[in-house]
Amino acid sequence: MAKPAISLAADWQLASAVALPPLLQAWLLEPASLTARLKHRARDFQLQVLQQQQQALPAFLLPLLPDSQVAQCREVLMSCNQLPCVYAQSWLPLKTLAALRPLAELGEQPLGEVIFQQQHVRRSAVEVARVQLHQPLAAAVASGEYWARRSVFTLAGHPLLVAEVFLDGILTL
């Protein structure tokens, strides 16, 4: 039985309005593919799909994806050199999936490898927040508060939301 996605409800603010932690600033503001940056810095990169399922969009996300009451929620864990580095939670509206078939057939392929190959990609301003993660995200991830970022990508007019939570392993890269 699918579990509800981990809640990333938090006090989200524009990154430009927040004093960012120096050690995470470059990661929080990375304009290009986060996956590409991770792969470039790690000897060994692993992406694990934790859960991928259709869900009702949480109310706090409706302002970001206003016409998408139902979307596919994709939750992945990205590890570098065997250390968990990023928990990512993406919300792909059904209309976006219908229009962009590669997004519906990702499997273990990183979402960014589809997004950043599109011709017409727009990205909203990045928001950041401190989010609470509790077990059982993954065995090696301690419960606690972590920095996160999110933004809405628009591909050929179709939106999707990507949120990324930076875990302790990121500080080893």
Ligand X SMILES: C=C(O[C@@H]1C=C(C(=O)O)C=C[C@H]1O)C(=O)O
Which residues ranging from 113 to 172 are in contact with ligand X (CB under 6 A)? 115, 162, 164
> How many residues make up the chain in this entry?
173
Bridge partners (DSSP) of residue 75 are 51, 89
Question: Contact at 8 Å (CB) between 169 and 79?
Answer: yes
The rounded distance, in Å, linking the Cα atoms of 14 and 62 is: 17
CB of 112 to ligand X, least distance (A): 2
Please name the amino acid found at residue 67: D
Which residues ranging from 65 to 124 are in contact with ligand X (CB under 6 A)? 74, 76, 86, 88, 90, 110-112, 115
The answer to whether 74 is a known ligand-binding residue is yes
The answer to whether 164 is a known ligand-binding residue is yes
CB of 161 to ligand X, least distance (A): 10
List the one residue out of 150, 145, 133 whose CA is nearest residue 13: 150
Tell me if 34 contacts ligand X by CB under 6 A.
yes
The answer to whether 127 is a known ligand-binding residue is no
Q: Which long-range contacts (CB under 8 A, 24 or more apart) does 16-21 make?
A: 16/125, 18/128, 20/128, 20/147, 21/147
Nearer to ligand X, 23 or 49 (CB): 49
By the criterion CB under 6 A, which residues form the site for ligand X?
33-35, 47, 74, 76, 86, 88, 90, 110-112, 115, 162, 164
Binding residues: 74, 111, 164
